[in-house]
Amino acid sequence: MGTRKPLIAGNWKMFGKRADLVEIEKTLAAASHANAVEILFCPPATLVAEAAKFPVAIGGQDCHANTEGAHTGDISAVMLADSGARYVIVGHSERRRDHGEPDEIVAAKARAALAAGLIPIICVGETLVDREAGRTLDVVGAQLAGSVPAEAGDKLVVAYEPVWAIGTGLTPTSEQIAEVHADIRRRLVMRIAAEGEKVRILYGGSVKPGNAREIFGIDNVDGALVGGASLKAADFSAIIMAHPAAGV
């Protein structure tokens, strides 16, 4: 893994109210010795500013590609940065599916994030139909090529989230995860040479306390993008502490 600091990110999705911010405090207390692991919370946009008061990295779950404008209900990367965010998730499969976002839009959002000083977490992943048809590496590779702005360099994070494993309780085998992460790494190195070795690649999709240690032991897995299990401090801290670096 070299000098890549593990990143374990919690995506709260459309869950959480102000009272739930106590889970951040509880998580940090339970994982207080995990200094070698970077912890990130991505709460709903309504909580970003308040969550940013905690001594931990905070991120948004999405951003608009424009800095400002007549886009009712949307939030720009500049606004997230102004609220205290340091990261933003773009291209999550739920955005790609529910909002019909193609790679071009994801790349534009990532570009906006970079311009605002945020680190984009660019999500890629195949559906079950793709997996069963043997198209996984082609689909993920095409998403990577289309979603990562050329100017990003190594100032990004990639999250591999097989769509069929998100919130389903299903998890790919270690061999399947290793194959995809190795191919993502290969493509990043082909694209930006040695800088590609610096990019952190996270795994996401039904990461739980019971399987986290095995997942973290896979080559080129530099952390996790955790969904439901990040909402409760007991589960999320257990995932964080399952990383080998947590005890360093």
Separation between Cα atoms, residue 12 and residue 23, nearest integer Å: 11
Given the residues 38, 64, 92, 181, the one annotated as active site: 92
**CA neighbor of 236 nearest in space, from 41, 21, 14, 5:** 41
Three-state SS for 206?
coil
Q: How far is CA 243 from CA 11, 12, 167, 237, in A?
A: 18, 20, 21, 10
The one catalytic residue in 64, 101, 161, 181 is: 161
Q: How far is CA 100 from the centre of its chain?
A: 19
- Per DSSP, the three-state class of 102 is coil
92 is catalytic: yes
Residue 108: strand, helix, or coil: helix
Q: Are strands 223-226 and 38-42 parallel, antiparallel or unpaired?
A: unpaired
CA separation for the pair 214, 208 (Å, rounded): 10
Alpha-carbon distance of 17 to 220, in angstroms, equals: 34
For this structure, is 181 an active site residue? no
User: Where do runs of H (alpha helix) occur along the chain?
Assistant: 22-30, 48-51, 77-82, 93-98, 103-115, 128-132, 136-147, 174-192, 212-216, 233-241
Active site residues: 92, 161
